[in-house]
Amino acid sequence: MAIREILTVPHPVLKQVSQPVAAVDDELRALMDDMLETMYAAPGIGLAAIQIGVPKRVIVMDLSGQGEEKQPRYFVNPEITWKSEETAPYEEGCLSIPEYYDEVERPARVKLRYLNYQGEQIEEEADGLYAVCIQHEMDHLEGVLFIDHLSRLKREQAVKKVKKLKAA
């Protein structure tokens, strides 16, 4: 396992659409292990492969709280099959936009389908933080960042802040 570099805005790779994965094999599991280690080191609760420069439809996530046992989750070729009409606001942040947080309104519940670490197909419903996080990470697979849901002014402020942090 290895910690990979997390790309930050305005890196152009973050705007790429990720490609579906043909099969869950040992090479893909090694990538997911690296992604998980990278996410924990950052620290964060979710990471899409594109954030480490790999344009594949792969996400890792762990929503366990501090001091709780780790609960890593793996999502290969995830799809949202249903979204609730009810929405909920949540203050989001992103490892590709360090130290910037803002409120985003998203569907409160979603149903999703994906392949897990073993390559088994899973279908389940998500709500609360899980729903927010999976939608946020799936946006990455389409080249969308959470700041793309904000006003142009807020987006520009976020990018400016990240550039300033990198220069410091």
Rounded CA separation 104/89 (Å): 5
Q: Which of 123, 125, 137, 156 is catalytic?
A: 137
Is-catalytic flag, 137? yes
Nearest to 138 by CA among 84, 87, 81: 81
Whether the upstream peptide bond of residue 43 has omega within 30° of 0, thus cis, is yes
**Residue 52 exposure: Cα atoms within 13 Å on the Cβ side:** 23
Backbone phi and psi for residue 24, each to the nearest 5 degrees, phi listed first: -90, 105
Rounded CA separation 137/135 (Å): 6
Active site residues: 137
